[in-house]
A and B are shown apart, each in its own frame.
Chain A
Amino acid sequence: MSEIASLPTGSRQRQGSNIGQPMTRREGVLKVTGQATYAADNNPEGLLYAVVATATIARGRVTHLDVEAAKAHPGVVEVLTPQNRPPLALDPDAKLHGFMFRLDLLQNDGVRYAGQPIALVVARTLEAANEGAALLAPQYEVEAPRVDLDGENFVPEVVGPGAPARAETGDFDAEYAGSAKTLEATYETPPQYHNAMEPHSIVAAWDGDRLSIDMPTQGMAMAIDRVAGLFGIPAENIHIRSPFLGGGFGSKGMPAGPQMLGIIAAKHVGAPVKLVLSRQQMYGPVGHRGQTRQTLRLGMSDDGRLTAIEHHTLASTSRFDDFVEPASNASHTLYAAPGIRTTHEGARIDIGTPMFMRAPGEASGSAALEGAIDEAAFAARMDPLDFRLLNYAEVEPISGKPFSSKALRECYAKGAERFGWAKRPLEPRSMRDAEGRLVGWGVGTAMFPAIMFQAAARAVIRADGSGLMETGAHDMGQGAWTALHQIAADGLGLSMDETEFRAGSSDLPDAGIAGGSGHTATAGMALHRAGEDVIAKLTELAVNDENSPLYGAGNVGVVARNGRLVRQDDESRGEPYAAILQRAGLAEIEGKGQGVPDAGPREKYAMDAHGAVFAEVTVDPDLGQIRVTRLIGAFAAGRVINPRMVESQYYGGMIWGISFALHEEAVHDKRSGRIMNANLAEYRVPVNADVPSLETILVHEDDPYVNALGIKGVGEIGVTGTVGAIAGAIWHATGVRVRRFPINVADLLEGAAAR
């Protein structure tokens, strides 16, 4: 059953019965049978294979490549180096706007990070291309690299994609100086790599100046722009198919350099080319979460009320481009204090440019902030949850704006109740499991802004009464094929089966980007508006048609329900969409819609999703090995389109929190600058056995301001709060405060020895 109201002012009443239902994934059968095609699953006729050769030094230049040896290998067709790489229409080092990142497209012999592409081998088989790349045996002129945060720093103009590097409210210095208690703590987070299961890949084929691409992307329209610019062809000549992404997490937001190399190769050899990065090659040219060193200074009154928060972040960026992790900005929103100051510094080091990675800024920033908050709570001899409630932000601390909605208190309460938090002893090392292992409990506050981008959609109602909704949306696992289809069906007043939903292709209306947890809200609003538009047009036809039972009903209003338009004042009077169109002699009727952030409310309100995460860890007191034995997250993020998908997003985010707290770290050799664990064995992410118990609570929240559908976004918030909750639980279990992530066995052994 689905319905919408088509009253001119009634858009907020739109709540069809598809939205809110826990439908299983629409593409589920394709995925469980191996029929879902990811980019590298395409094998067009005449396909050649390209393999990237990457630098093993972090700074310097390539002095020799054994191109002859590579070319002599059976099956090798061509070797591309800076010497013979065909010209591009745009310098890969050009930066025309903040979302354009510099690429390494063989523009010269320089090496600016380990793992940088320095050549490309094209061959008839993958085996030959791989060996051809190995045979290049590059020689270098090496300069000493810098890969850590110790050294010269700079103050960036902006952090993240364009936020101010500094913000302040009140007088931090005065508040801090006048505080009854103060606390200073420095937290460190390591470089982390997205490591989506699907490596970055592309299958590119040219036909004259037309380009066909299979490539996973979180931003189809931006990718088209980038490709059009680099290759000097009109955007309409480019077709990108990206029906399924094997995970993105931010690393597929912008086209990566190696993918562009695949296009270059295809053009150069005049055949379709497949290029897939190896796992090792995903540690360099496809972005990462930059390392940070964050110093928190907190001031509070005797009774534990925060008076001052200063959050300073030193974060890495590359030598040649800018992306400074906006970690300090986590302190803008979470806790109230009269004096707040956030600042950032950058360090230019010899690495690939950092990039957006699931909860950029918030993940690292809240890891440090939550740790410091825990330290402050214990200094005040308060329960960490009580401390957070005492310092609850009723308005957004940095701006003073009211929140559009904030059900965080309920998240705390529901999570705490389910977890059994009330039984938590204040002192660390007070709990053991039945076999004598140490047990600890921690809590963290989760928060992520409700961002919206811009998107467009097209709606069609056909003469047979069925519907079609189109937007070039991206499903990287978050459930766009399902959730957006639900919104689409409700937008047309049809069931999902009556509504065809098209996405994942660049010849559809621009759906913006799948990032910032804003895709469902943005593309969803575009679909919603397109539905309104087409229903309004259909209504127009009916109410002006003497032969329609709805003739003249324009004033009382008409509702779209189950494929029919009916009178608002008497639902027994109406007719099917098909009848209206057939009588009008129309094969179909079309509507269009835009999803855009609503400037008015956004100026007035702070808009964020919130949550509370409770963690239990078990630690072997002798051996220091850690396991997160229980994790419960309660989240309020506006309207839930599909609770099954939303829970999965929270679970995924919380597991990323486990990963951040206990596992992930890229380890550089400081002498060579190379990452020594560029794989999935030693760069650890959690395995199934690391996640014995996970629970989420969906806290109901109506938000009348965030957008007409009331959607905030759920993709990233799960990471935030979780890291702090686990770190707090480890402290509570062991009494050891580790201020460096990931927390490992050695930290606990050495920390226990130091106690």
Chain B
Amino acid sequence: MNLFEYVRPSSIAEAVAAAGEPGSAYLGAGTNLLDLMKGGVTRPSRLVDLTHLPDLNGIETLPDGSARIGALVKNSALAHDPDFAKRFPVVAEALLAGASAQLRNAATVGGNLMQRTRCSYFNDPASACNKREPGTGCDALGGENRSHAVLGWSDHCIAVHPSDFCVPLAALGAIVEIAGAGGQREVPLTDFHRLPGDTPDRETVLEAGEMIVAVRLPADAAAFADHQRYLKVRERTSYAFALASAAAALKIENGTIVEARLALGGVATKPWRAKAAEALLAGAAPGKQVFEKAAEAAFAEARPSGDNGYKIELGKRVVARVLAMAAAGTPDRMPALPASPFAPIPEGVVNV
């Protein structure tokens, strides 16, 4: 790890000013940043420590019914907040399906949005990586890429966005509140992360010095509370990144899906909202066939970026399953194995 200047601002304005310098990085919990610095993946010359800033730690319900989560709220605190988890259970389930209890106790909401890919070439400074070092190429292409993206990738980058938390946030239309030198602005989460295109190093819309202040879930998102689930397939029962995951939220009235929300994780270069699938579901009666059609729609544009074609079929199955689980209803209590295929499955949901 390189030497750096440590700065501890006492206000957001001070933080933004301090981080405006090139080479600066914000320090939240550091669960991702320190990992990257130890690996020589990033070498910031200044760390601006946000963790002592006041007023970024709250989970509040705003007068319009939306939920506002401060950027420094710990993943575990949010997942275990009873009111929040009741209104947005899919968010809690996704949070609890990510990382480990220790990491969730440290990692922040803002940091989760900023986490970098687990692509092994990005994480290996000896490999060519356009994301780490623009213009050097992409060694993941033609390399060991079984876990890489099938959606949203470009010839410059095929790295998967690793977050679980961001998947339901994308589905539920979360808003990211940003502070910068020019004041505050808001961006929908689905626009917060950028597609790699030919600038995979630019992962978010944040400009130099800008920081995440809060994440908001709009009031209308709570209307899905009765029918929402997260499902995550991985190579270990716990403590592993997703091969494919999906968050589904349904508003069902009189046996009809009035509105559907669907987003994908582990398969795309950013948290992936599947709007075409949502459109297919709206107005339909819940059922296997329509869920499978929605799954097809969600992956209509998917193509392998290497030795990962299986992820397309897997992703479709995850979608069909998570929709069926959501339709069956949010469980009263989070399962012992959150988002796992080995958590209780509602009757009749298994296909093959």
A–B direct contact (CB < 8 Å): yes
A749 to B235, CA, bound (A): 13
Binds B, one of A313-321, A563-571, A642-650, A665-673: A665-673
Interface size, chain A (Cβ < 8 Å): 43
Shortest C-beta distance, A525 to chain B (Å), equals: 41
A690 to B127, CA, bound (A): 32
Most buried by A among B243, B318, B350: B350
> B349, A436: Cβ atoms under 8 Å?
yes
> A689, B352: Cβ atoms under 8 Å?
no
* Minimum CB distance partner of A752 in chain B: B352
Shortest C-beta distance, A200 to chain B (Å), equals: 18
On whether A687 and B310 interact (CB within 8 A), knowing A621-B351, A622-B352, the answer reads no
Task: Please give, as numbers and ranges, the residues of chain B lying within 8 Å of A663 by CB-CB distance.
Answer: 235-236
The one of B144, B240, B317 that contacts A669, using a Cβ cutoff of 8 Å: B144
Binds B, one of A254-262, A677-685, A700-708: A677-685
A501 to B344, CA, bound (A): 51
Shortest C-beta distance, B58 to chain A (Å), equals: 32
A184 to B143, CA, bound (A): 32
> B2, A131: Cβ atoms under 8 Å?
yes
> A744, B235: Cβ atoms under 8 Å?
yes
* Minimum CB distance partner of A135 in chain B: B2
Question: Residue B202 at the A interface, CB < 8 A?
Answer: no
Bitwise interface map of A from 245 to 282 toward B, beta carbon under 8 Å scored 1, else 0: 00000000000000000000000000000000000000
Shortest C-beta distance, A653 to chain B (Å), equals: 19
Question: Residue B239 at the A interface, CB < 8 A?
Answer: yes
> A676, B235: Cβ atoms under 8 Å?
no
Question: Residue B205 at the A interface, CB < 8 A?
Answer: no
> A676, B120: Cβ atoms under 8 Å?
yes
Task: Please give, as numbers and ranges, the residues of chain B lying within 8 Å of A677 by CB-CB distance.
Answer: 120
> B233, A745: Cβ atoms under 8 Å?
yes
A74 to B2, CA, bound (A): 11
Question: Residue A198 at the B interface, CB < 8 A?
Answer: no
The one of B121, B235, B349 that contacts A745, using a Cβ cutoff of 8 Å: B235
Task: Please give, as numbers and ranges, the residues of chain A lying within 8 Å of B87 by CB-CB distance.
Answer: none
Task: Please give, as numbers and ranges, the residues of chain A lying within 8 Å of B314 by CB-CB distance.
Answer: 623-624, 745-746, 749
Shortest C-beta distance, A403 to chain B (Å), equals: 38
On whether A622 and B350 interact (CB within 8 A), knowing A627-B237, A676-B143, the answer reads yes
On whether A435 and B313 interact (CB within 8 A), knowing A131-B3, A684-B240, the answer reads no
> A749, B341: Cβ atoms under 8 Å?
no
> DSSP majority for the B interface?
loop
Question: Residue B64 at the A interface, CB < 8 A?
Answer: no
Question: Residue B293 at the A interface, CB < 8 A?
Answer: no
The one of B1, B118, B310, B351 that contacts A746, using a Cβ cutoff of 8 Å: B310
Most buried by B among A130, A676, A752: A676
> B1, A689: Cβ atoms under 8 Å?
no
Question: Residue B203 at the A interface, CB < 8 A?
Answer: no
Task: Please give, as numbers and ranges, the residues of chain B lying within 8 Å of A746 by CB-CB distance.
Answer: 146, 310, 314
> A130, B1: Cβ atoms under 8 Å?
yes
Most buried by B among A623, A682, A744: A623
> B345, A437: Cβ atoms under 8 Å?
yes
Question: Residue A388 at the B interface, CB < 8 A?
Answer: no
> A623, B321: Cβ atoms under 8 Å?
yes
Task: Please give, as numbers and ranges, the residues of chain A lying within 8 Å of B350 by CB-CB distance.
Answer: 435-437, 620-622
> A620, B341: Cβ atoms under 8 Å?
yes
> A682, B118: Cβ atoms under 8 Å?
yes
Shortest C-beta distance, B21 to chain A (Å), equals: 21
> DSSP majority for the A interface?
loop
The one of A127, A621, A627, A672 that contacts B352, using a Cβ cutoff of 8 Å: A621
> B310, A690: Cβ atoms under 8 Å?
no
* CB within 8 Å of B: which A700-754 residues: 744-746, 749-750, 752-753
Task: Please give, as numbers and ranges, the residues of chain A lying within 8 Å of B321 by CB-CB distance.
Answer: 622-623
* CB within 8 Å of A: which B327-352 residues: 337, 340-342, 344-345, 347-352
On whether A625 and B341 interact (CB within 8 A), knowing A436-B350, A676-B124, A677-B120, the answer reads yes
Question: Residue B234 at the A interface, CB < 8 A?
Answer: yes
Question: Residue B154 at the A interface, CB < 8 A?
Answer: no
Task: Please give, as numbers and ranges, the residues of chain B lying within 8 Å of A674 by CB-CB distance.
Answer: 124, 126-127
Shortest C-beta distance, B31 to chain A (Å), equals: 12
Question: Residue A618 at the B interface, CB < 8 A?
Answer: yes
Task: Please give, as numbers and ranges, the residues of chain B lying within 8 Å of A56 by CB-CB distance.
Answer: 126
Question: Residue B238 at the A interface, CB < 8 A?
Answer: yes
The one of A74, A622, A688 that contacts B351, using a Cβ cutoff of 8 Å: A622
The one of B139, B240, B345 that contacts A435, using a Cβ cutoff of 8 Å: B345
Question: Residue B188 at the A interface, CB < 8 A?
Answer: no
Task: Please give, as numbers and ranges, the residues of chain B lying within 8 Å of A668 by CB-CB distance.
Answer: 144
Shortest C-beta distance, A360 to chain B (Å), equals: 25
On whether A681 and B40 interact (CB within 8 A), knowing A623-B317, A745-B235, the answer reads no
Bitwise interface map of B from 119 to 139 toward A, beta carbon under 8 Å scored 1, else 0: 011001011000000000001
> A672, B240: Cβ atoms under 8 Å?
no
* Minimum CB distance partner of A680 in chain B: B239
Task: Please give, as numbers and ranges, the residues of chain A lying within 8 Å of B317 by CB-CB distance.
Answer: 622-623
> B1, A435: Cβ atoms under 8 Å?
no
* CB within 8 Å of B: which A591-623 residues: 618, 620-623
A663 to B352, CA, bound (A): 25
Question: Residue A156 at the B interface, CB < 8 A?
Answer: no
Question: Residue A694 at the B interface, CB < 8 A?
Answer: no
Task: Please give, as numbers and ranges, the residues of chain A lying within 8 Å of B345 by CB-CB distance.
Answer: 435-437
17 new A-B contacts at CB < 8 Å, known A131-B3, A689-B238, A746-B314 = A74-B3, A435-B347, A436-B349, A437-B341, A620-B342, A622-B352, A663-B236, A669-B144, A674-B127, A676-B143, A681-B241, A684-B236, A684-B240, A687-B237, A689-B237, A689-B239, A690-B238
Sample 15 A-B pairs with CB under 8 A, ordered by A number.
Answer: A134-B40, A623-B317, A625-B234, A625-B235, A672-B139, A674-B124, A674-B126, A676-B120, A681-B118, A686-B236, A687-B238, A689-B237, A690-B236, A690-B237, A745-B310
Chain A interface (Cβ within 8 Å of chain B)? 56, 73-74, 127, 130-131, 134, 435-437, 618, 620-625, 627, 662-663, 667-669, 671-672, 674, 676-677, 681-682, 684, 686-690, 744-746, 749-750, 752-753
Question: Nearest 5 A-B pairs (CB), nearest first?
Answer: A436-B350, A56-B126, A689-B237, A689-B238, A676-B120
